[in-house]
Amino acid sequence: MRQSISIASFFKLLLFSAVLSSCQKKTTDDPTFAKELESSSMGAHGHLKQTKSFSAEAAMKWHDMQVRILRLPPGVNPYGLNGVRNFAYCGIALYEAVVPGMPDYHSLEGQLNGFPAMPSTEPGKAYHWPTCANAALAYMNKHFYNATNTPAYQASMDSLENALNTAYQAQVNAETFQRSKDFGKAVAELVFTWSTTDGSLTVYPPYVPPAYPLWNNIAPNPSGIVGPYWGNNRPFVPGSTTGTASPLPPPYSEVPGSPYYNMIKEVYDISQTLTPAQQATALYFLDDPGFKSGTHYLSIFGEIMHKENPKLDFFAVAQAKTGISMAESMINCWKIKYTVLQDRPTKYIRNVLGHTTWTSFIPLHPHPEYPSGHTSNAGAFAGAMARLFGSHYHFTIHTYDNLGMTPRSYSSFKELSDDVGRARVYGGIHYTYSCVEGAKQGERIANNVLNILRFRKGWGRDDLFCRDR
């Protein structure tokens, strides 16, 4: 039997109706409220548009700029391992510059090693998040790439920053624009200064490798030495490498049929029957001319972002997660390389297998073989991107359309990672074991990074971010 409404409840209902009627009348009839609403739409007050209200135009254009710089030839582009590192720091600066406009997310303060306290936004004041992003990324890119030997790129960065600022000044009032610009720059200054303390700028004594059978830089290996101390750099995330190690490669042996002998003989056998398709795979991920030290994945990241055309909040989270995962995997990879000092296949194939004129299909790299750096990066990239877009995401990469190479299509990010591993074996510069385990290590590091870092407030899973759109 339905209960009768109480007198108190009846009067509460009347009061609520009166308030609602008053509010409705104010929105339509009160000229003062209408003026406040108009001013608010121009950014005079806070609690306005969130980061997800805006396109990722600024972030994508700055990413495209970074990719163009990293395409430059080695003589002009001296960045090498710094390419992935810079991508990570730019992602962190971008995220911190726009996260105050993401109510369900919070800063990475207290989560990254040595990360400084970030500036606070002014309570009750509006911020134009694209302007914040533009200011932060302009500062980061100009400081990271100020050594580029092409003044045109310095001018291009100035031009991009100014063009975006001109567009954004037409969208908000002068106070909001300047407040947003100042905030983005303040974030970037702190993040960049933090980046200079990670050890990458430390000057070490010249590295002297041990003698053969461990890796060294004596012919037929290249004479240069790349990244011997990169593994000493400060990790981004405490505990990121826990549980990620693989069993060491087989111990050196010249005994026919031993695991080491068979590991290298496989490279030789494959080299004798390379098909045109296998050669094309090896050449596609040779990245010469092209990207170095894993920066190919920055190009792929950009292609996918252009395809998805995400909002600014998603782009910021995606770059921070992917960049940190990849940069962390490179620190780990280079630490292992110069600990294990695994040799490349060439000397063994020539001196032990007896094929004295054998040469790899693609050039050898001037650092130890295990684990494969390219596949360590690929595994980290695949792990992070799968958490953002799912395990069965279909995509096509067009990295080298300009060189006449056929685009490559994949049905998952792991499929890309596997393809990269095969490419290095086809090229004759890596063993299958080093590529498979390198990819596993990279993926494990990405999963650790994304399980340890909390972007979303509360206990919601960060990897569901893409499905919230």
CA distance to 116, 188, 361, 430, per residue, from 132 (Å): 18, 10, 47, 44
**For residues 147 and 145, what is the distance between their CA atoms, to the nearest angstrom?**
5
**Residue 311, beta-bridge partner list:** 55
Predicted confidence at residue 212, as pLDDT, reads 78
Q: What's the pLDDT score for residue 148? A: 63
pLDDT of residue 20: 36
The confidence score (pLDDT) of residue 362 equals: 97
What residue spans define the domains of the chain? 51-195, 230-468
In terms of C-beta distances under 8 Å and separation of at least 24 residues, what long-range contacts does 362-365 make, across chains too? Answer: 362/282, 362/283, 362/286, 362/288, 362/427, 362/428, 362/429, 363/222, 363/286, 363/288, 363/429, 364/220, 364/221, 364/222, 364/429, 365/222, 365/226, 365/429
pLDDT digits (tens, 9 = 90+) for 352-391: 999 999 999 999 999 999 999 999 999 999 999 999 999 9
Phi and psi (nearest 5°) for 311?
-75, 170
Q: Write out residues in the chain with pLDDT < 50, as ranges.
A: 1-47, 464-465, 467-469
Q: Which CATH architecture has domain 51-195?
A: Up-down Bundle (1.20)
Which pTM was predicted?
0.89
Indicate the CATH number for domain 230-468.
1.10.606.20
